[in-house]
Amino acid sequence: MSELALSLKNLVKDFDGKRAVDNISFTANRGEILGLLGPNGAGKTTTIRMVMDIIAPDAGSVEIMGEPFSEKMKDRIGYLPEERGLYRKLKVMDTLLFFGELKSMKAAAVRERGRRLLKQFQLEGYEEKKVEELSKGMAQKLQFIMTILHDPELLILDEPFSGLDPLNIELVMDIILAHKRAGKTIIYSTHLMEYAEKTVDALVMIDKGRKVLDGTLAAVKAEYGQKFVKVQYEGDARFVGGLPYVRSCRDSGHEMEVELDDLSKCEQLLRDLLGKVAVKGFQLSEPSLQNIFIRKAQEGKGA
């Protein structure tokens, strides 16, 4: 049995003469969470659609569990597409029964597992509601339930947090982590780096159709060293970006991530802050994925 859940080799896809995916290769190991990260329009969805054999690559190959994609492979995969699709007039349980039948599940098994999942996703009591009666967030959760209803060993999720509020994002992340603990493999795309940072074991960053970064989360962060300081503050700290020993500064108004040219300048930064702003927190930190991605994107532009 292959230790790889997914292997992409030199995938290429053009649309109307424009290259959407440019020679992308990466692998995902069984039992891990891989984040396919990048901004909107980077090529994440096109890559996933080629993995799922929805569109054919112009070049390159895809293997799932050590084999080329096939119809029999579909029952081993749970796929959440970017463009959600539900029959609005169907009731919630009827929706699950219809989908379960497509996955060769017996009605009794669908009802038993469906009720358990509806409760887990805080949709208990909605079995007889029509899909059109659900809020957008509820419909998103129902789509996720459909994705995991048949207990697949590989989950491929395209923007799973789209349309969800922060509480439901936390709920979905908890369920993703529970599937990993159960030995499943999860591959999901997102442009929300802060959520990916909490869950992924490994990541692939894509920008403008090209892979710009690939590796475990720990290795990617280690590549950027420990020259970062996270500061929580009150006041006007715009001057920090102009300090001669500061390489970069991402400031969100009350918290900033400062990259120093040398870690020995840490005390100097604190001295420069004190008296000018109220420092609420000051600690060494790893670079955030958001910071790393911005750096990689700027490198791609020749910045």
In a domain, 295, yes or no: no
Decide which of 165, 191, 221 is a domain's last residue.
221
Query: Does residue 77 sit in the same domain as residue 149?
Result: yes
Domain tally for the chain? 2
Residue 11 near residue 23 (C-beta atoms within 8 A): yes
Asked whether the predicted pLDDT for residue 47 surpasses 60, the reply is: yes
Q: Residues 14-29: what's their mean pLDDT?
A: 94
Answering whether pTM is above 0.95, one says: no
Asked whether the predicted pLDDT for residue 10 surpasses 70, the reply is: yes
Confidence of residue 224 (pLDDT cuts 50, 70, 90): confident
Confidence of residue 303 (pLDDT cuts 50, 70, 90): very low
Query: Does residue 272 sit in the same domain as residue 132?
Result: no
In a domain, 205, yes or no: yes
In a domain, 73, yes or no: yes
Residue with tokens 């159960």: 182
Asked whether the predicted pLDDT for residue 206 surpasses 90, the reply is: yes
Query: Does residue 271 sit in the same domain as residue 152?
Result: no
pLDDT tens digits for range 81-123: 987 778 889 999 999 999 999 898 999 999 999 999 999 999 9
Cα 28 from Cα 35, distance rounded (Å): 10
Q: Which CATH number fits the domain that encloses residue 143?
A: 3.40.50.300
pLDDT tens digits for range 166-203: 999 999 999 999 999 999 999 999 988 888 988 999 99
Segments forming the whole domain that contains residue 254: 226-285
Asked whether the predicted pLDDT for residue 2 surpasses 70, the reply is: no
pLDDT tens digits for range 145-173: 999 999 999 999 999 998 888 999 999 99
Query: Does residue 118 sit in the same domain as residue 181?
Result: yes
Query: Does residue 215 sit in the same domain as residue 239?
Result: no
Half-sphere exposure of 220 (CA within 13 A, CB side): 23
pLDDT tens digits for range 111-122: 999 999 999 999
Which one has a higher pLDDT value, 76 or 222? Answer: 76
**Token pair of 153 as six digits:** 């060993």
The end-to-end CA distance of the chain, in Å, is: 44
Query: Does residue 259 sit in the same domain as residue 151?
Result: no
Query: Does residue 230 sit in the same domain as residue 215?
Result: no
In a domain, 303, yes or no: no
In a domain, 56, yes or no: yes
Edge-to-edge strand order for the sheet containing 59-64? 18-29, 4-15, 59-64, 67-68
Asked whether the predicted pLDDT for residue 54 surpasses 90, the reply is: yes
In a domain, 299, yes or no: no
In a domain, 49, yes or no: yes
In a domain, 280, yes or no: yes
Query: Does residue 10 sit in the same domain as residue 136?
Result: yes
Please tell me the predicted confidence (pLDDT) of residue 297.
73
Cα 218 from Cα 203, distance rounded (Å): 10
Q: Which CATH number fits the domain that encloses residue 281?
A: 3.30.70
Decide which of 221, 249, 277 is a domain's last residue.
221
Confidence of residue 302 (pLDDT cuts 50, 70, 90): low
Query: Does residue 169 sit in the same domain as residue 210?
Result: yes
Residue 228 zone, left/alpha/beta (φ > 0; ψ -120 to 50; rest): beta
Cα 264 from Cα 98, distance rounded (Å): 62
Query: Does residue 151 sit in the same domain as residue 72?
Result: yes
Query: Does residue 133 sit in the same domain as residue 240?
Result: no
pLDDT tens digits for range 229-281: 999 999 999 999 999 999 989 898 899 999 999 889 999 999 999 989 999 99
Query: Does residue 44 sit in the same domain as residue 191?
Result: yes
Asked whether the predicted pLDDT for residue 301 surpasses 70, the reply is: no
